[in-house]
Amino acid sequence: MKAIMQLREVDKSFGGVHAIDHLSFDIYEGEILGLIGPNGAGKSTCVNLIAGVYALDSGVILFNGERLSRQSIPDRAFMGIGRTFQSPKPFEGLSVRDSVFTAALLYNKRRRDAEKATDDILELTDFAAIRDLPCAKLPIEKRKWLDMARVLAIRPKLLMLDECLAGLTPTEMDESLALVKRISGTGVTILFIEHVMSAVTKLCTRVVVLNEGTLLSQGAPLTVMREKAVIKAYLGEDYEYVED
Ligand SMILES: Nc1ncnc2c1ncn2[C@@H]1O[C@H](COP(=O)(O)OP(=O)(O)OP(=O)(O)O)[C@@H](O)[C@H]1O
Ligand SMILES: [Mg+2]
């Protein structure tokens, strides 16, 4: 399997907080990799290091074999590194369609291509029927979808989804999982950060577990979730996985 992203001995501290501590793991091309672990484990920090929001203290991150160091956030987006945020960030003043189109204009030389890309994305993300709705009127679950739709305009090779299911009802969650699967089906590699374990087991073939900035375990979701260390640090002693 080919690694699209490789983290090697990555370190990041914020003042006295050692958020990421000698962390190494790979994301393989085409997979949906789950990134799980307790609050404060360093999951969002990983996303921010890969996206270029924070600089590494030490270590190496390779994207398709190329070292990421001085590239800015937009440079990395142009390379195909996409992410959504734990809290959605809509362009409040724009319609659904124009939010995606604004992003598409940056990533397509010709207006016609940007229009076509926008239409395709609105179709894939089920926004076609409400394309003219102002973003400010979207319900919360659709705001997360809009973040996903907008980032698709950069034609990501790797898409990092930071808790895109938080706060959703079970039905909305299932619809969102189906959307992530559709996105994955278009060939996008996905890093999926989530606390809802049933969602992780449904979607991911592999998970990486972080705890206090270090790699606690990695492997198949159901195998990892039965490990004592993972239960102790994250899932809790009373945890029992139930298929829903
Ligand atoms: N910009 C920052 N400044 C200071 N400390 C930070 C910053 N970002 C993260 N941290 C700290 O780094 C640690 C890891 O935080 P991070 O947000 O990566 O955790 P997380 O795994 O995403 O948690 P959650 O599941 O709650 O989202 C925490 O102790 C957090 O307080
Ligand atoms: Mg987080």
CATH number, domain containing residue 72:
3.40.50.300
pLDDT of residue 241 exceeding 70: no
Q: Is residue 73 in some structural domain?
A: yes
Q: Is 125 touching ligand 1 by the criterion CB < 6 Å?
A: no
* CA 163 to ligand 1: nearest atom: 27
pLDDT of residue 244 exceeding 90: no
Cα(38) to ligand 1 centroid in Å equals 11
pLDDT in tens, 103-157: 999 999 999 999 999 999 999 999 999 999 999 999 888 999 999 999 999 999 9
- pLDDT given at position 174: 94
**Positive/negative CA dihedral, 212, 217, 220, 225:** negative
Domain containing 192 equals 3-91+156-235
Q: Is residue 242 in some structural domain?
A: no
Q: What is the pTM of this model?
A: 0.95
Q: Is residue 106 in some structural domain?
A: no
Q: Is residue 193 in some structural domain?
A: yes
Q: Is residue 12 in some structural domain?
A: yes
Q: Which residue's CA lies nearest to atom 25 of ligand 1?
A: 39
Q: Is 41 touching ligand 1 by the criterion CB < 6 Å?
A: yes
Give how many domains the chain has, as a whole number. 1
Q: Is 19 touching ligand 1 by the criterion CB < 6 Å?
A: yes
Q: Is residue 135 in some structural domain?
A: no
Q: Is 44 touching ligand 1 by the criterion CB < 6 Å?
A: yes
- pLDDT given at position 187: 96
Cα(99) to ligand 2 centroid in Å equals 25
pLDDT in tens, 60-114: 999 999 999 989 999 999 999 999 988 888 888 999 999 999 999 999 999 999 9
Q: Is 12 touching ligand 1 by the criterion CB < 6 Å?
A: no
Q: Is residue 29 in some structural domain?
A: yes
pLDDT in tens, 180-204: 999 999 999 999 999 999 999 999 9
Q: Is residue 123 in some structural domain?
A: no
Mean of per-residue pLDDT scores for the chain:
94
